Homo-oligomer: A and B are copies of this chain.
């Protein structure tokens, strides 16, 4: 094997580590990139290097941005006293696409899981509890996935917030059982947010 194929094979191996791509589709993608190396591959490499350098996690909510505190947390119009709790940044983006929520977010980074030994301290739950006090929050909206782990986590957070003087709500039924936010259409997310119920 020579340097040429080694470079290309290394690129295919890296591409195959992306979700949704296997070895075969990674090879197809790399062939496509080489054919369009001027129009697509070079700009993609630059965009990726740029984001790899600048992207960071918001120290407050866990969203991705280029500053220590993300745009949503810095936006004074979003200090509505409402925090929407999501599992993942993908879910935050899905909520934002719905354009229905005007408050701030808190990204847990996963769900409680006894099997994977993930407890509250692995999930930024303590940070959520302190934000509820320090930011004068009146309502915590639990927008967790309608999976067993998601609902377990929602109940745990509702328990911990019991007596903290905040309303705890969750997205309305309408999220399909076993469904994940990132795969829902925007209208369903908006409807579920409007119909949120007290836990």
The number of residues on chain A lying at the interface, defined by a beta carbon within 8 Å of a beta carbon of chain B, is: 55
Q: Is A105's CB within 8 Å of the partner chain B?
A: no
Given contacts A4-B66, A52-B41, whether A29 and B34 have CB atoms under 8 Å apart is: no
Q: Do B3 and A66 touch across chains, with their CB atoms under 8 A apart?
A: yes
Copies of this chain: 2
Closest to A90 in B: B31
How many angstroms from the CA of A28 to the CA of B91 in the assembled complex? 11
Closest to A17 in B: B40
Chain B residues lying within 8 Å of A89, measured Cβ to Cβ, are 31, 34
> Is A77's CB within 8 Å of the partner chain B?
no
In the bound complex, how far is the Cα of B2 from the Cα of A58, in angstroms? 15
Q: CA separation between A27 and B182, bound complex, in Å?
A: 10
Cross-chain contact of A93 among B21, B27, B37 (Cβ < 8 A): B27
A28 x B34 contact (CB < 8 A): no
Per the bound structure, the CA–CA distance linking A51 and B19 in Å amounts to 22
